[in-house]
């Protein structure tokens, strides 16, 4: 899954993909690099960021969605708002990537009533504005798993079938470095929830905390993290560097699918 930010304060991209035009160019580049999914986001969710209005989010993402609908790959919309979900679906999005796991008003119903749409349910402690202030868990793996199980149950009860669900432990969302490492080490323990696992580690602070590299120089860390996540059971990795990640994962797949001679 390739990341396409349409946010002015997107530090990962230095704001370079703020304009719809530039976001569309970037989306096309990621498609050329072999992305299987594109994730379009109009609201920054980095630590400390505040939410934007529905109108602002729609102004950012809808032109991009309209321009890339018709490419052969599924389009995901990174949003927590029901109204943005509805418009994005009308503009061709078939995956809802919700860091708030369908807890906002009307979001469960919106996804439930669009049968062809899948949804990624992500774990977060707190909200982007305060989540890194003082993350606390007694047993992070158990607590994140319990939350995701509850959201799966709630989604199914609302009429969203299990085949439409994806789960994500939410690396960096209300977690210390130690919390993130424990989640990565035990990512395989989420497989028994019975839905595909998505992992987003690309360029995140936890990687820089290990190597000391700044956000625009974390490509090797990001590739290592994506490979580890896949080895630990992730079926989808959300990444900025599609070409490089695909090349690394090609080695994993070659090993995994090789046949003895
Ligand atoms: C995710 O994990 N993450 S946006 C901080 C960075 C670099 C990147 C300090 N949306 C996820 O990518 N959706 C985001 O450097 C996501 N899973 C899902 N499902 C944060 C991000 C980032 C934050």
Cβ atoms < 10 Å from Cβ of 21? 12
The answer to whether the CB of 89 falls within 8 A of the CB of 69 is: no
- Atom of ligand 1 at shortest distance to CA of 98? 19
| Tens digit of each residue's pLDDT (9 = 90 or more) over 155-191 | 999 999 999 999 999 999 999 999 999 999 999 999 9
Write out the DSSP string of 49-63.
PPP--HHHHHHHHHH
Among 51, 119, 204, which residue has the most ligand 1 atoms within 8 Å of its CB, making it the best to mutate? 204
Residue 13 has pLDDT above 70, yes or no: no
Ligand 1 geometric centre to CA of 141 (Å): 19
The answer to whether the CB of 222 falls within 8 A of the CB of 236 is: no
The answer to whether the CB of 82 falls within 8 A of the CB of 63 is: no
Q: What are the catalytic residues?
A: 204, 238
Ligand 1 geometric centre to CA of 139 (Å): 22
| Tens digit of each residue's pLDDT (9 = 90 or more) over 30-42 | 999 999 999 999 9
> What is the predicted pLDDT for the residue at 50?
84
Ligand 1 geometric centre to CA of 131 (Å): 13
Considering only CA atoms, which residue is closest to atom 8 of ligand 1? 204
Considering only CA atoms, which residue is closest to atom 11 of ligand 1? 200
Ligand 1 geometric centre to CA of 260 (Å): 39
| Tens digit of each residue's pLDDT (9 = 90 or more) over 33-86 | 999 999 999 998 888 888 899 999 999 999 999 999 999 999 999 999 999 999
What's the rounded Cα separation, in Å, for the pair 238 and 200?
5
> What is the predicted pLDDT for the residue at 16?
45
Write out the DSSP string of 83-143.
HHHHHHHHTT--EEEETTTT-STTHHHHHHT-TT-EEEEE--SS-TTTTTSS---SSHHHH
Considering only CA atoms, which residue is closest to atom 17 of ligand 1? 200
What's the rounded Cα separation, in Å, for the pair 106 and 81?
8
Distances (CA, A) of 207 to 76, 126, 129, 176: 25, 21, 21, 12
Q: What's the whole-model pTM score?
A: 0.95
> What is the predicted pLDDT for the residue at 18?
57
Considering only CA atoms, which residue is closest to atom 2 of ligand 1? 200
- Atom of ligand 1 at shortest distance to CA of 198? 19
Residues with CB under 6 A from ligand 1: 12, 45-46, 78, 97, 99, 120, 122, 168, 170-172, 198, 200, 203-205, 215, 238
Provide, for the chain, the percentages of residues in helix, strand and coil under a 3-state DSSP scheme, each rounded to the nearest 5: 45, 15, 40
What's the rounded Cα separation, in Å, for the pair 221 and 172?
15
């Amino acid at each position: 899954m390739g990341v396409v930010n349409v946010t002015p304060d997107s530090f990962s991209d230095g704001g370079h993909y703020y304009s719809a035009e530039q976001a569309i160019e970037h989306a096309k580049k990621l498609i050329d690099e072999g992305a299987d999914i594109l994730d379009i986001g109009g609201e920054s969710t980095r630590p400390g960021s505040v939410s934007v209005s529905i109108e602002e989010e729609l102004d950012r993402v809808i032109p991009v969605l309209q321009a890339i609908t018709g490419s052969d790959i599924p389009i995901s919309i990174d949003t927590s708002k029901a109204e943005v979900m509805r418009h994005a679906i009308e503009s061709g999005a078939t995956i809802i990537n919700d860091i708030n796991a369908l807890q906002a008003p009307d979001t469960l119903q919106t996804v439930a009533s669009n049968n062809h749409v899948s949804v990624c349910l992500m774990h977060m402690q707190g909200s982007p504005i305060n989540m890194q202030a003082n993350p606390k868990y007694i047993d992070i793996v158990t607590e994140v798993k319990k939350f995701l199980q509850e959201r799966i149950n709630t989604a199914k009860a609302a009429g969203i079938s299990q085949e439409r669900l994806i789960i994500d432990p939410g690396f960096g969302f209300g977690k210390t470095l130690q919390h993130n490492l424990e989640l990565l080490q035990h990512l395989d323990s989420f497989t028994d929830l019975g839905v595909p696992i998505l992992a987003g580690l690309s360029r995140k602070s936890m990687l820089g905390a290990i190597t000391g590299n700044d956000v625009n120089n974390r490509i090797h860390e990001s590739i290592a993290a994506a490979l580890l996540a896949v080895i630990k059971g992730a079926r989808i990795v959300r990444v900025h560097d599609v070409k490089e990640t695909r090349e690394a994962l090609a080695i994993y797949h070659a090993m995994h699918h090789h046949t003895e001679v």
